[in-house]
Chain A
Amino acid sequence: MSEPSVLEIRDLAKSFEGVSVFSGLNLRLEANEIVAILGPSGCGKSTLLRCIVGLEEAEQGGLTFASNRRAEGIGYLFQQPILYPHLNVASNIALGFKTKVSKKERQTTIARELESVELTGFESRRVESLSGGEAQRIALLRAMLGQPEVLLLDEPFSALDLETRRSITAQTRRWLKQRNTAAIHVTHDPEEAELMADRVVPWQALFDRWEEE
């Protein structure tokens, strides 16, 4: 028997003030799979991710999660990394812990995670002093700290320069694969989609009829 899907979206519809953003949207995300959704700006990619994570209410259709724990089982990476300036890098990362951990364990975990993204010694740095790439890697670390089953990436690398974008995209893919985390990555850049994903789905293909496996 094949492994069950971690997320199934069937016949999803969303509109704002009577204007339809999308309707009849279908998607299946398998365990450990990275799917890139490729579509132009303003087509509704971000709205789809917001519906999945629960920041927007879908009007019709269904979302089925393998774990039944939507908010806790999903990590989210915004287009702009949101790091809180009243906290340093370590305290920003610590917000991602889902359970209470001892101070020592927290410090060890954060140091190990920072090392894994080549940001060793950044614990006490102020967030204002980080470059765009560094900030986005910290946000990624934080999102992954809770070991989500699915990570949603809302064009998180679009504001970075080409070289940084390529390297961080490859690094993120490696990371997700190492941790067996499924992901949906929305982007308008075909190269980024290819570099990141196991499967690239053009936006229009999301409206094909649902097929039972």
Chain B
Amino acid sequence: MPRNSEIVGRGFVVMAYVALSSVPFVYAMARLQSVTGQTPLEAFLEFPEAYGATEALQFTLLEASASALLTVLFGVPIAWYLGRYHWRHATMLRAVFSVPFVMPAIVVAMGFLLLIDQQSLLFKVGLDLRTETGVIGAYADWTGWSHPGHFLALIIAHAWFNLSLIIRFVEPTVARLDPAWEEQMSLLGQGQSTFGRLRHLWWPVLGPAVLCAASLSFLFSFTSFALVKWLTPFNQTLESLMASYGGSAGIADYRVDTSEIVMSASIVQFLILLGTLYLTSTLQRRHSNRFALVSEHGAQASRGPPTLKAKVTVYAGFLFALAPMIAAVTASFRIRNRTATGTSYTWGMEAWNAAWAGDLSTLSVTEALTNSMIFAIGTLIVALPVGWILASTIHALEINNNHRLAKALDIATLLPLAISAIMVGLGVLLGVLKSMPSLFQWSLLPILPHVILTVPFVVRIMLPAMRSVDPKWKEQASVLGLNPLRTWYHGYFSFIRGPAVVASSLTLAFSLGEFGASWLLVRSGSWDTLSVLVDTLMSRPKFDPLVQPTAMAAATVLMMLTFLLFFLAERFRAEGEGGGF
């Protein structure tokens, strides 16, 4: 039984977290309400009248739905073949397929910009997605669709980004489902055809996982900011609309129209994301482990080596996953040389030297990296214990059969995902800073939104791990006469040490790469993070040939750091562990 002090402590952390994650948003709403004089319901009803809001909503829904569909089309075949066969470098393949999800969005945006520029392979084969000439231009003229190339680039980038969600949800089930189930189905009347097996076996087994990953892809594409900002500059999503008007919103008697737009857009976005999260959570419950699982190795060994079709699919996916990252690294060494006779390129370290040195208006990579690390470590110090306590509280409530409260708290921890980075940033900016401007001087301010955004991931990783620890281990340790600390260590912590390392690595990676909230709160200054530095450099006019390579050098540093953290996390991940994160 937990002691009273433990219950009080947990209750305090839960209340503090709920306040931390909701107060900035609620406070921002109150402030916007005071500026606009509208209630949230009035703001919601006024949404169609808000300038650019309907177009932004249409574009957001279209790009998020298309991105989710494309993610499923790309991801399911890869997950299927990766799970069905034994691959020689399976850990490495899985890590490469998973890295996109934790890759900073700004790095991805830069990578995709390079993949579609006029020196790219796509351009050379006639697919000009950036300036939209050739086939794409003809298609635009024919349909009257103003920027189909940009749209295509955006949804491909989103599919790349969310590929790991499908793979993490689907592949473990494919890999570990008892082959006897498939054999049995193939011997039954209704399982004689491929369609029959798909309908009676594979869809019931994998369908909820595919739909769950698709709804999460929709959610992350809906709130995507950096990719939208860079790949579709002529279109606004609700997220980018709020970001662009957020700076002038919430100020009394000044630009009331922007406050109205931000208020209605944030309410509509919140409601849509809340609905998506509810759907995700329902689907996740259906994707249970009722199915007979066996060891991955045993199941895969029974199917023999990968077929040619499997190899082509998985290795094509592998190249797709690496392409933007390779493009970013390569571009950091490639310097443009424009002369009267034409443009040529040379290879060199000049951009890296420039990135390391910085200049009068931008920080050096080392300074930005130091800032990013300070924010990331600060985030970890707060987010890990808070997430741990929240997960253990939910688990304790479940053990004590208090399922309703456990579920309510579980959903409360997911709420920041429904609020999105820009809304969290806006919450802090409008809700807290405009009421307490002195907080602007507080250099560690970005830690606040980073904690709000990373705690849900810590909870999602730790909670299943805590649920899976058999209480008999703790009982066994306690009857051996060990002291309470050693009992806890051997009977409990040793089983969740791996997930704790995974949660720590991902918290650091997410904080390092976070762009939306940092961009809103830090903007340009001595506390720029690496992701903000990349954006600042890329926003400069490109007549200086070093601008783009320098930005790519900074992006490469950020990418490598994320990559290292992720490989560390992968080493501690248990076999068959899915769940998306």
**Contact between chains at B189 and A98 (CB < 8 Å):** yes
Beta-carbon contact of B183 and A55 below 8 Å: yes
Bitwise, B184-221 to A at CB < 8 A (1) or not (0) is 11111111100000001100110000000000000000
In the complex, what distance in Å separates the CA atom of A82 from the CA atom of B190? 15
A-contact 0/1 string along B159-200, CB 8 Å cutoff: 000000000000000000010110111111111100000001
B290 at the interface (CB under 8 A from A): yes
Alpha-carbon distance between A75 and B178 when the two chains are bound, in angstroms: 20
Q: Mark A68-100, 1 if CB is under 8 A from B, else 0.
A: 000110111010101011110000001111110
Task: List the A side residues contacting B205 at CB < 8 Å.
Answer: 86
Q: Known contacts A85-B290, A86-B290; is A96 also within 8 Å of B189 by CB?
A: yes
Question: Which residues of A are found within 8 Å of B473, using beta-carbon distances?
Answer: none
Does B315 lie at the interface of the complex (its beta carbon under 8 Å from any beta carbon of A)? no
| Residue A62 lies at the interface, judged by CB distance under 8 Å to chain B | no
Interface size class of B (residues with CB under 8 A): 20 to 34
Q: Please tell me which one of the listed residues A75, A87, A94, A99 contacts residue B187 in the complex, with CB atoms under 8 A apart.
A: A75
A126 nearest CB neighbor, chain B only: B290
Interface assignment of A142: CB less than 8 Å from any CB of chain B: yes
* Chain A interface size range: 20 to 34
Q: Could you tell me if B187 and A80 are in contact, using CB atoms closer than 8 angstroms?
A: no
In the complex with contacts A82-B181, A86-B204, A86-B205, A71-B187 CB distance below 8 A:
yes
Q: Which residue of A lies closest to B288 (CB)?
A: A85
* B189 with A84: CB separation less than 8 A: no
- Cβ of B291 < 8 Å from any Cβ of A? yes
Q: Please tell me if the beta carbons of A95 and B191 are within 8 angstroms of each other in the complex.
A: yes
A78 x B192 contact (CB < 8 A): no
Instruction: Name A39-87 residues within 8 Å CB distance of B.
Output: 53, 55, 71-72, 74-76, 78, 80, 82, 84-87
Name the contact of B291 in the complex, choosing from A78, A85, A95, A98 (C-beta under 8 A).
A85
Q: Which residue of A lies closest to B205 (CB)?
A: A86
Say if the beta carbon of A146 comes within 8 Å of chain B: yes
Whole-angstrom distance between the Cβ of B512 and the nearest chain A Cβ: 41
* Contact in complex: A96, B188 (CB < 8 Å): yes
Cβ–Cβ < 8 Å partners of B291 in chain A = 85
Of residues 110 through 165 on chain A, the ones whose CB sits less than 8 Å from some CB of chain B are 128, 142-143, 145-146
Chain A positions within 8 Å of B178 at CB level: 82
**Given the complex, which residues of A lie within 8 Å of B192, measured CB to CB?**
71-72, 98
Q: In the complex, what distance in Å separates the CA atom of A72 from the CA atom of B193?
A: 12
User: Is the beta-carbon distance between B189 and A97 smaller than 8 angstroms?
Assistant: yes
Chain B: which residue is nearest A152 at the CB level?
B187
Across the two chains, which residue of chain A brings its CB closest to B179?
Answer: A55
- What residue of chain B has the Cβ atom nearest to residue A147's Cβ? B189
Is the Cβ of B184 less than 8 Å from the Cβ of A82? yes
The residue from A55, A85, A95 contacting B188, defined by CB atoms under 8 A apart: A95
Whether A145 touches B187, Cβ cut-off 8 Å, given contacts A80-B180, A95-B200, is no
Q: A82-B180, A82-B181, A84-B201 are in contact. Are A96 and B290 (CB under 8 A)?
A: no
Of chain A, the residue at the smallest CB distance from B185 is A95
In angstroms, Cα B191 to Cα A97, docked, is: 10
- Specify which chain B residues have a CB less than 8 angstroms from the CB of A145 in the assembled complex: 189
Q: Which of B181, B183, B186, B187 contacts A84 (CB 8 A)?
A: B181
- Which residue numbers of A lie inside 8 Å of B, CB to CB? 53, 55, 71-72, 74-76, 78, 80, 82, 84-87, 94-99, 128, 142-143, 145-146
Task: List 5 additional contacts besides A72-B192, A76-B184, A128-B290; criterion CB under 8 Å.
Answer: A71-B186, A84-B201, A85-B291, A97-B190, A142-B188
The 3 A-B residue pairs with the shortest CB-CB distance in the complex, in nearest-first order? A98-B189, A86-B204, A82-B184
User: Could you pull out 12 A-B pairs where Cβ atoms are within 8 angstroms?
Assistant: A71-B192, A74-B187, A75-B187, A78-B184, A82-B178, A95-B188, A95-B191, A96-B190, A97-B189, A98-B192, A128-B290, A143-B187
